[in-house]
Structure 1
Amino acid sequence: MNASTQLPATGAGPAGTEAVAPVLTGAPAPSAAEHGAGDAAPAAQPLRADCIADSAGGLTFDITAPQGTRPVWSAALVLRPRGDGDSAAHEELRLPLGPNGSGRLRAVLPSTVALPEGRWNVYADLGDGRDPQRLLPGDNDLRPLVDRRPLAGIGRLGVRIPYTTRSGSLALRSWLRGPHAEAADIVVDAGGTTVTGRLYGAVLGPGARAEARLRGGAAEADEVAPVVTVPLTGDGCEFTFTLPYVPLAERWEGGDARWDLWLRAAEGAEPVRIGRLLDDVPEKKAVFVHPALPVGCSAGQLRIGPYYTLDNDLTIRVTDDGPDSTGC
């Protein structure tokens, strides 16, 4: 389906101040050629957008448009998923773009709009017959996202963080999870990793536990990947657990072994990936760095420690600590 989602106008208020329901409107705006603009149309001037976050997870985009720009009713801020394939080419979200009262153009992405998890390029369609153009990042005010603490009973957690791509354009990283296990404090010592966090969309019950699952550990489709489980301590939505390193070292078979961390709120509950989403850092991997400590064993020495993946999920890495290490 070649369709776009168009949101009704939200006015010039702050992001996330009113509930908005998506409405399907069909294909994206026509190109310049379809409007008959021809080759005489001048080149589009680069546009820059400032982003303002609110504590509910909404974003407001203020764009400085070229002098003399007269936005029409069809003007929109366009979000398109990054990546290859048909979905990236045919799915987009269109947000109404109109004057903000101070000579700029404004679009609002409310927290009530469910933006699918992934990375999104940001464009401006001024309704002048040109193809939507990529936006450059301006000033970001993301202070409300720092140490954001939604209500624990929230059914589905939405997180959006603007960032700059390698090419210098504006993009968004979006997460949409429910339930969600948010990692907070992480303490690393030679015996293991201790994680303290908060569970959203569920509460702890009998049989609650953390699970470390070996990534790629199932060689065949009908096999189950190795799992190391540890009990949780905590009450309600707050949790703490310590994952010892010895069981991971004993299962090491060479190379880099990655153990992804999950949480089960109760016996029989579906597992929830543990990650860190509630701040203003779009990619934690290079920012929140934890040590990989040496762990000795009869056949050599390993290094084991936690890290955040490119999706900001928490994982434990096990690797050898030298050419003489052959495993435990």
Structure 2
Amino acid sequence: MTGTAEGLPAYAVDCTAGADGSIAFAVTVTGPTGLVLKRRNSGDLVRLALTEASDGAWSAVLEAGAELGEGRWDVFTEGGPAGEQRVEPGLRDLRHLIGRTPGPAATTVAARVPYRTAEGKLALRGWSRSPHAEAGDLTVRDSALTVRGQLYGAETGVDAVIEARLRGAPGQVHREPVLTGGGGAFSCTLPYGPLAGGDGDDPRFWDLWLRPAGAADSGRGVRISRILDDLAGRKSVFVYPGSPCGGADRGATATPYYTVDNDLSVRIDPGEH
């Protein structure tokens, strides 16, 4: 427990993430009676009562089956002399999140990652995807990107495609066939050339989706993302090299990247005209 600028106590909360999606919280001092999780930019909240453990710590558990909408959730104390206030992160044990694999029958993939905000406070990044396409290895070559991944909650089918959608331009897409393996495994090589070109000097952003067989013309699709590990934000951690696009705009450069939501996209920087 530390002090705040107002003289009220600031509580440090330890977190242990379970492989099943649960999160155990521990407060090592007496005071708060519960924790409150608040989703940003919404009125959603989840209350967790604190109970005293045999070692004198106070603990609460966010169960794996608890409904936690997708987004960023700030953690507050409830009760005690400080009332409701943001908490600071203590120890964060995230080892069980690394290499986590949902069961083959999973129809919804839920992921929760505790993290330290830029302001030094504790928050959770939560995802809930049904179905979900988990990105695996990315291979960056000149003029193309190869994506390998795993689809949960749906069947890929022999006619599945990967679809690059131009952000801000509904209906402008490029599709490539997908190679499928057993148990939902998929892979695809996406050439950069068809993504280049266009008017203007501003970057163009293409978001990558997997469309299972039978969904290619129905408006459905599964966003390709990477959420099954211990990283709340991949964008500044996984940085990939840019490559020449080839094709009509030979001066353009393509760079795959993860967005702030850990979704996979490709940025095209146009060449000089």
Shared fold, TM over 0.5: yes
CA distance in structure 1 between the partners assigned to 2:50 and 2:16 by the alignment: 15
1:80 aligns with 2:38: yes
Would you say the 8 A contact 2:193–2:248 is kept in 1? no
CA distance in structure 1 between the partners assigned to 2:82 and 2:200 by the alignment: 56
CA distance in structure 2 between the partners assigned to 1:284 and 1:299 by the alignment: 29
Report how far residue 166 of structure 1 moved: 1.4
Aligned twin of 1:112: 65
1:234 aligns with 2:180: yes
Structure 1 pair 242/298, CA: closer, same or farther in 2 (3 Å)? closer
CA distance in structure 2 between the partners assigned to 1:152 and 1:199 by the alignment: 10
CA distance in structure 2 between the partners assigned to 1:298 and 1:134 by the alignment: 53
Aligned twin of 1:101: 54
CA distance in structure 2 between the partners assigned to 1:82 and 1:191 by the alignment: 39
Would you say the 8 A contact 1:232–1:240 is kept in 2? yes
Aligned twin of 1:195: 147
- Stretches of structure 1 lacking an aligned partner (at least 5 in a row): 1-41, 219-223
CA distance in structure 2 between the partners assigned to 1:238 and 1:150 by the alignment: 13
CA distance in structure 2 between the partners assigned to 1:319 and 1:92 by the alignment: 40
Output the amino acid matched with 2:187: T
Would you say the 8 A contact 2:99–2:229 is kept in 1? yes
CA distance in structure 1 between the partners assigned to 2:136 and 2:61 by the alignment: 29
1:149 aligns with 2:96: no
Would you say the 8 A contact 1:47–1:63 is kept in 2? yes
Would you say the 8 A contact 2:143–2:243 is kept in 1? no
Would you say the 8 A contact 1:152–1:199 is kept in 2? no
CA distance in structure 1 between the partners assigned to 2:12 and 2:38 by the alignment: 17
CA distance in structure 1 between the partners assigned to 2:243 and 2:48 by the alignment: 48
CA distance in structure 2 between the partners assigned to 1:169 and 1:82 by the alignment: 14
Aligned twin of 2:3: none
Structure of larger gyration radius: 1
Deviation by residue 1:119-154 (Cα, 9 ceiling, x = unmatched): 0110111x3475312111011110000111111321
Percent sequence identity over aligned pairs: 42
Report how far residue 116 of structure 1 moved: 0.2
Q: Give the structure-1-normalised TM-score.
A: 0.76
Report how far residue 207 of structure 1 moved: 2.1
Q: Give the structure-2-normalised TM-score.
A: 0.91
Secondary structure class of the residue paired with 2:196: helix
Output the amino acid matched with 1:233: L
Aligned with residue 163 of structure 2, among 202, 211, 215: 211
Would you say the 8 A contact 1:123–1:132 is kept in 2? yes
Would you say the 8 A contact 1:183–1:195 is kept in 2? yes
Would you say the 8 A contact 1:114–1:158 is kept in 2? no
1:310 aligns with 2:260: yes
Aligned twin of 1:265: 212
CA distance in structure 2 between the partners assigned to 1:147 and 1:283 by the alignment: 16
**How large is the RMSD of aligned CA atoms in angstroms?**
1.9
- Stretches of structure 2 lacking an aligned partner (at least 5 in a row): 1-5
1:138 aligns with 2:95: no
Aligned twin of 1:59: 23
